[in-house]
Structure 1
Amino acid sequence: MKPMKDELAKIMDQRQMTAEYRKMMQDAVADPDVQAFLKANQHQLAPDAVSRSAAKIYEFVTARDRLAAGDPLIAPGYQPQLVASNGLIDITYTATPEKVAQDAQAAQARLITALNMPKAIKSASLETYDPSDRSAALSAALDFTMGMAEAPDQFHKGLYLTGPFGVGKTYLLGAIANDLAKQGIASTMLHYPTFAVEMKGAIADNSVLAKTDRIKKAKVLMIDDIGAEAWSAWVRDEVLGVILQYRMQEELPTLFTSNKNMQELTAFLSGSETGKADEPVKAQRIMERVRFLAKEIAVGGPDRRNA
C-alpha cells in the first residue's frame, strides 16, 4: 500500500484543494486513532482507500473531538467508529459505554411495574439489606430469587412478610423485584390499600374486570400492605379472591407484606375486627390461597423508616 499521507496529498492536488483544507485532511489522516485503524485494517483496504474515504476520516476525527469536548452529536449517547467496508473506510456510530449501562438500567426498570409504591424501592438491593433481626427474611428472599433464576417457569412459593411498621418489609419487596429484573424476570408491585380504593372507583366505568385481569396475570405479583385497607366484602371476594384464585390455579409466584400475621389477617378478612360482619368461612377461603402461595416470614428490628 502507498504511504497514506502521499496518497492523500496527491488527490488533494489533483482537485486543486486549498492549502488550508488540504492540511485539515492530512491532520485527520495523521491522527493516532486513524493511524491505528489503518495499520490494523491494512489488508482489508484498497490502495486508494484513504484518498477515496478522506471525508469519512475527517468526519470521524471531528465527531470524536466534539464528543470529547462535551458537545452533543446528532445522536446523543453514540460515538464514532471507523470500519472497513468493501475495501474503503466508512464510519459508524456505536453506543457509548455510558449509554449501554443506561439502556441496561432502563430495560431492568421496565421489568418492574410499581403501582403507588414508594420511590425508595427503585434503589433497593438485597446486597445492602441489613440482616440485623431480619436474617430469616433476607435468607428467604435470596432463596426465592435464586430459585426463580434457576427455573423461572416453575412455581416458587412466595413470601408473606409480616412485622411492625418501618422494619423494611416493603423495601425487601423492592430489593427482590430489582434482583429479579437483573435476571430478566418481570414483576408487578402494588400498594394494596390504594389498589382497593381504585377498584371500588372502577365500578363506575366498568373497568374492574380489565384491571383485575392485568394484575392477576403478572409474572411475579407483590401485594404490599395487605390488611391495611378498609374492610370490604366486595373487595375481598370479587377482587382479592379472584386474583388469588387465578394465581393459585396457574401456580404463579406471589409475595405479600402485612402488619398483620396470617392469623390476624384471617380475623380482618372475616370482618370480625370491624364488627361489620363475621364471615370466617369466606376469610378462610382467601387464607387457603394465601398459604398456598406464600410462607409466613416475620421481619423484626427497629423502625428504620423513622430512625
Structure 2
Amino acid sequence: MKSLSKTMKEIMKSQNFGSAYEQMINQVLNDPEVAAFLKNNAQKLSPQAIERGEAKLYEYFHEKQLISKGTATVAPGYSPQLIVNAGQIDVTYVPTKKLIEQQRQAHIKQLVSSINMPKFIHGASFDHFYTEEPYQTETRNIALNAALDFVDQYSPNEFHPGLYLYGRFGVGKTYLLGAIANELAQQKGVATTMMHFPSFVVEMRNSIKTNNIGSKLDAVKKAPVLVLDDIGADAMTTWARDDILGVILEYRMQEELPTFFSSNFSMDELQGHLTVNVKGEEEPVKASRIMERIKFLSRQYEMAGANLRDK
C-alpha cells in the first residue's frame, strides 16, 4: 500500500494545482508545529530537502487534523511525528497516550489469571470494598487494612505472608482477595493466580486421564502470588490433601512465595476438617503438616458482617 505522502506527490506531479497547491503548502508551512520543526532543524535541512519533503509535511499536517476531528487515520492509535532521516524530512508514527494506556490495561488484566473464579473479581478494588453502613464492621476494616498494607509493602525480593480470610458466606472474602490481585497488578506489575480450590481438585482428578497433572500443578505452585479460594468447602480425599494441596504449599513455603486463602473455617476449624478424610479415618499428623505450611504462608483474619450477596 502506497504511503499518503507518495500518493500525494504523484497527484501533485500529474495535475496542475497552481495557486491552490501553493495555498495549501503555505497553510502547512504556517502550522506552528511544522514551523517549529523546520526552525529547529534548519542546519540539517537544505532548501531542496524541504521542497522534496513537502508531501511528508502535508502528510503530517493532514493526519494531525484527522486526529483532532476524531476521524479515522492511516494508523489508528498512533500520532505522526516529523523527523529528519538522512538529511530528508520523514514522518514516523508513535503510540498515543490513549493506546499506551489501553495496552497497559490489557497487560494488567493478563497478570490476573483465574481458575473457576467468579467474574466480579476482575473488577474488584479497594475503593469499592463494602465499608459503608450498614455493611461496615470492625473485622472487615481490619482485613482491608491488612490487604492495603500487603500491597504497599510487597516486594519480590523479600517474603511477605499473605492473608487467610475466614468467615461466613458472602462477607466479602473473595472480593477482597480479588482486589489485592488487581492492585498488585496495577501498582506493582505482579502476576497473581486465583483459583477456586475445590473446583481445581476436580480438574486435577480429570487430568489423570490425560496425564498432565504435573504441568498444571507446576503452573499453580510456581505462581508469583497465589490465591486459594474456598479451602475446606468440600470433604477432602487424602490424595487431594497430600498430593495436591500439600505439594503446592510445600513448594511455596520453601520458595517463600506469597499465598492467600479464603475459607468458612478458622485455621483451628480447618485443621479438624483436614484431620478426617472422606473415609472417616483420622490423620492428625498429616493435617498438622498442612496447617503448619498455611500458618507459615499467611496470617489469619476473620471477616464478619451482613451477607453482601443480599446487597
Q: Normalised by the size of structure 2, how large is the TM-score? A: 0.86
* 8 Å contact kept, 1:161–1:257: yes
Report how far residue 113 of structure 1 moved: 1.6
Distance 1:219 1:14 in 2: 61
* 8 Å contact kept, 1:196–1:229: no
Which residue of structure 2 lines up, in the alignment, with residue 145 of structure 1? 151
State the Cα deviation string for residues 91-149 of structure 1 (Å, max 9, x = none).
1111111111111111222222221222222222224434422111011112211221x
- Aligned to 2:64, what secondary structure does the other structure show? helix
Distance 2:124 2:241 in 1: 30
Q: Residues 29 and 136 of structure 1: is their aligned pair in 2 closer, same or farther, counting only changes over 3 Å?
A: same
Report how far residue 14 of structure 1 moved: 10
- Aligned to 2:66, what secondary structure does the other structure show? helix
Give the count of matched residue pairs: 293
Which residue of structure 2 lines up, in the alignment, with residue 205 of structure 1? 210
Aligned residue among 196, 201, 206 for 2:201: 196
Question: 1:67 aligned to 2:72?
Answer: no
Aligned residue among 301, 305, 309 for 1:305: 309
Distance 2:159 2:174 in 1: 22
Question: 1:183 aligned to 2:188?
Answer: yes
Which residue of structure 1 lines up, in the alignment, with residue 163 of structure 2? 159
Question: 1:226 aligned to 2:243?
Answer: no
Distance 2:15 2:117 in 1: 68
Report how far residue 81 of structure 1 moved: 1.6
Comparing 259-268 with 61-70, which one deviates more in the overlay? 61-70
Which residue of structure 2 lines up, in the alignment, with residue 29 of structure 1? 29
Distance 1:186 1:101 in 2: 18
Considering only aligned residues, what root-mean-square deviation do their CA atoms show, in Å?
2.4
Which one-letter code corresponds to 1:207 in the other structure?
N
Report how far residue 15 of structure 1 moved: 9.6
Which residue of structure 1 lines up, in the alignment, with residue 6 of structure 2? none
Report how far residue 223 of structure 1 moved: 0.7
Which residue of structure 2 lines up, in the alignment, with residue 268 of structure 1? 273
Q: Residues 139 and 14 of structure 1: is their aligned pair in 2 closer, same or farther, counting only changes over 3 Å?
A: closer
Distance 1:120 1:106 in 2: 17
Which residue of structure 2 lines up, in the alignment, with residue 98 of structure 1? 98
Which residue of structure 2 lines up, in the alignment, with residue 3 of structure 1? none
Which one-letter code corresponds to 2:188 in the other structure?
Q
Report how far residue 210 of structure 1 moved: 1.2
Q: Residues 89 and 264 of structure 1: is their aligned pair in 2 closer, same or farther, counting only changes over 3 Å?
A: same
State the Cα deviation string for residues 184-238 of structure 1 (Å, max 9, x = none).
2221111112111101101111111111111111111111111113422211111
Which one-letter code corresponds to 1:97 in the other structure?
K
Aligned residue among 257, 261, 286 for 1:282: 286
State the Cα deviation string for residues 246-289 of structure 1 (Å, max 9, x = none).
111111111101111112211221236x6633222221111111
Which residue of structure 1 lines up, in the alignment, with residue 55 of structure 2? 55
Distance 1:95 1:233 in 2: 54
Distance 1:179 1:14 in 2: 57
- Aligned to 1:166, what secondary structure does the other structure show? coil
Distance 1:18 1:122 in 2: 57
Question: 1:238 aligned to 2:237?
Answer: no
Comparing 193-202 with 78-87, which one deviates more in the overlay? 78-87
Distance 2:208 2:106 in 1: 34
Report how far residue 70 of structure 1 moved: 3.4
Distance 1:34 1:184 in 2: 38
- Aligned to 2:125, what secondary structure does the other structure show? coil
Which residue of structure 2 lines up, in the alignment, with residue 112 of structure 1? 112
Distance 1:212 1:18 in 2: 70
Comparing 61-70 with 98-107, which one deviates more in the overlay? 61-70
Which residue of structure 1 lines up, in the alignment, with residue 17 of structure 2? 18
Comparing 238-247 with 39-48, which one deviates more in the overlay? 39-48
Report how far residue 25 of structure 1 moved: 3.4
Structure 2 gaps of 5+ residues are 1-11
Which one-letter code corresponds to 1:297 in the other structure?
Y
Which residue of structure 1 lines up, in the alignment, with residue 8 of structure 2? none
Report how far residue 65 of structure 1 moved: 2.6
- Aligned to 1:62, what secondary structure does the other structure show? helix
Report how far residue 75 of structure 1 moved: 3.1
Which one-letter code corresponds to 2:143 in the other structure?
A
Distance 2:245 2:253 in 1: 12
- Aligned to 2:144, what secondary structure does the other structure show? helix
Q: Normalised by the size of structure 1, how large is the TM-score? A: 0.87
Which residue of structure 2 lines up, in the alignment, with residue 124 of structure 1? 124
Comparing 223-232 with 127-136, which one deviates more in the overlay? 127-136
Q: Residues 268 and 25 of structure 1: is their aligned pair in 2 closer, same or farther, counting only changes over 3 Å?
A: same
Which one-letter code corresponds to 1:271 in the other structure?
V
Distance 1:163 1:135 in 2: 14
